[in-house]
Structure formats: C-alpha cells, structure tokens
Amino acid sequence: MHISASFESGSIEVVEATDPGNVRLRIPTESASDYRMWFYFRVSGVRATELRLVFENAGECSYPSGWEGGYRVCASYDREDWFRVPTAYDGTTMTVSHQPERDFVYYAYFAPYASERQHDFVGRCLASPLARHEVLGTSLDGNDIELMTIGDSGAAKRACWLIARHHPGETQGSFWLEGVCERLLDGSDPIARRLLERAVFHIVPNINPDGSRRGNHRTNAAGKNLNRAWAEPTMEKTPEVFVVRERMEALGVDFLIDAHAVEWHPYTFIISGDRVPSLTDHLLQLRTRFDEALAQASPDHATEYGYPRDGDRPLQPTLCSSWVADHFACLALTLEMPFKDHAPHPDPRTGWSPGRSHRLGLASLEALNAVVDDLR
C-alpha cells in the first residue's frame, strides 16, 4: 500500500500506513495560514482490500460541522466519476471504510477541478466567435488571472460578471461555470440568445489559481482569504482581487454571481449584501425575483434555507458580492452549493456532485433571464 498526494491540489499528511485496516491520516494546514479542511490523495495497491482511513484531526479542522449530518468522502478510480464512500464522524476523528475495486483509488473532500480542465474548458469556449480571452495579471506564484468575455459589448448591454474559486476548495463553482457557459454558447438555445441580445458576460474562471494548485481550501499563496480582500486589495498580498477589481472599474458591473460552496449546509441558496449602503427596494425585489426564478428552473435550489438575512448578519464590506453591490449599486449575489448530499433531493451514490453543479449552472441562466431587463 502506498499513499501519495504529489499532484496538483493534492493534500494529506500520513501518520501511519502499515495496516490497511488502520491507516492514520491528518489534514494539513494551508499555505501561510491556520485553515485546514481540504484533502485529496491516492491510495495504491489496495484492490479488494478492506481499507479503514482515520483522519485523526478532523475535529480540529476549520469547519468541523462540515463532517456532521451525513457527510461522506468522495472517491474515484479515474478522477472523472466521483462517488461517495461510507464515512463516520465522532466529533474528533473521521473514519472512511471502503473496499476498492481497482488497484488504486483517489479520495477527496469534493471532486477536484484541475487547471488542465480549466484550460480545456476555456479553449472550447473560445472556439465560438462570441468568446474572447485576456490575461488580467499574474498571481503570487506566477499563474495567470484570466478573464473570458462572452457576447458583444455596447452601451445598452448589461455587464454581467461571473466569478469562481475565491475559495479554491469550492470546486462546485467551476463545474457550475461550465454549465453556464455551455448554455450561453448554444446557438440553438432561446434563453441564451435573448440574454446575449441584452447582456455581455465577463467570466473569471478561477480567481485563486495559486490556492487551487497548492491544495488550499480557503486561501491564496500568501494565506489570504480572497473573499475578505475586496475593500482594500494589494498587489503584494492579494493581486488576484486587485486586477479583477481594476477591470471591473473599466468595464462596469450591472450584475454579479460569485459562486461558492458551504461546508455545513446541505442546500443551495443565494445571499447578497442585505445591509450595504446603496441597497434599494428595487434591488431587493430583483434579488427575490432571481431567487424564485432559480427555484422554478431547478428544484435543487432553495429559497427558504441559507444564512440569516438582513439585520441578523453584520455588514461584511470586504466580501466580493457586498463590495460590488455597494460600489456599483447593482444586484450582486453569492451562490452557495453544498459539500454534503443535498437534503431535499439526496443522491445515495454521488451526493451533491459536479454534474448537479453543472446543471444548476444551466438553470441559472433562466433566473438571470427573469431579471435582465430590469438590471438598470
């Protein structure tokens, strides 16, 4: 038996791995920070072997409630088809019990999304004459901060921004973006056609490439949470936010979805800056309309669950959606998806999955279509 995490996004600490029935593991901290949550590794030489993997420090992770309520670890033999395996959490340790059917198996917190897949995805989009690409700058590790634009700009067009991977372990956002772009570029889709007549889409496929490559869950190479850096980004610590914000200033913003995932909630839901100074009744009505239209388009989306709203939550001006909503006086939303299975519509094999994230992306354009005419 051999355990390895020597690949992109790989992360695990092996304490003891001599007995397949009692493998002891620890989830490492991230780059220059105390966050710990993400794991992704491969176990080799274990065909038909009863594995028992014990994560000794699960209770010390940043969001231990993420392991409660039926969370199950993701597994795959080919890194394409991800399924869930039996997992138990006792408040201190998390234990996986699994008998692999092949010589090696990958385990992860959620299905990873590699940079090569992103490059292939962007390349497919750019095959369309509607899509364009630019590099806004580079990260601390020298990775490109990319912007893809779909549609033609014009004074009458609404500028719609879509961002994924502020938190690199929240790969659901990347799978969601694939669904959005696939539908936008489908010339036979009437919703996409109508939206492109009214809007131009500026898409940041991965705002945190360093954290994604390093196997971080929450932070960039400097240990900074990019979704807490929007008020005062710097080129020294948070260049990813700095260059995206700069491009927003140049192109304008009428609408934003920042795609995320939440560790402890088994639902999809949206949040917005309820208490930003520029919030108006019109924007509140638009948010409600978008929320209800998304629930209509996808039964996976919930309007009745999520974080507390309005006066129950403090203003967080450093969040992307809060800063954008206030600065541009526009509808700016954070979309949350689960790591756990989806409570209203569970899937015993996959739980919440890349495929369901993708399909929510397809449905999200229906919700945007319901409000696009009133974004200005």
Same domain, 13 and 161: no
Residue-wise DSSP of 272-323: E-TT-TT--HHHHHHHHHHHHHHHHH-TTB-SS-SS--GGGS---TTSHHHH
Could you tell me if 221 and 361 lie in one domain? yes
Res 310: pLDDT = 47
Residues 14 and 51 both lie in one domain? yes
- The overall average pLDDT reported for the chain is 96
Residue 332: its pLDDT value, please?
A: 96
Query: Do both 125 and 44 map to the same domain?
Result: no
Same domain, 83 and 121: no
Q: Is the pTM of this model over 0.95?
A: yes
Unique residue bearing structure tokens 């039996």: 86
Residues with a known catalytic role = 336
- Say yes or no: 172 and 92 in one domain: no
| Mean pLDDT computed over 346-363 | 98
pLDDT digits (tens, 9 = 90+) for 125-161: 999 999 999 999 999 999 999 999 999 988 899 999 9
* pLDDT for residue 232: 97
Q: Which residue range(s) make up the domain with 48?
A: 2-108
Flag whether pLDDT at 302 surpasses 90. no
Return the H-helix or E-strand segment holding 163.
strand 158-164
The whole-angstrom separation of Cα 215 and Cα 30 is 8
Total count of domains within the chain: 2
User: What does the DSSP 8-state code read for residue 29?
Assistant: P
Could you report the per-residue pLDDT of 256-300, keeping only the tens digit for each? 999 999 999 999 999 987 678 888 999 999 999 999 999 999 999
Q: What percent of the chain has pLDDT over 70?
A: 97
> Would the pLDDT of 314 be above 70?
no
- Do 276 and 296 fall within a single domain? yes
Asked whether residue 58 falls in the same domain as residue 40, the answer is yes
Shared-domain flag, residues 328 and 357 = yes
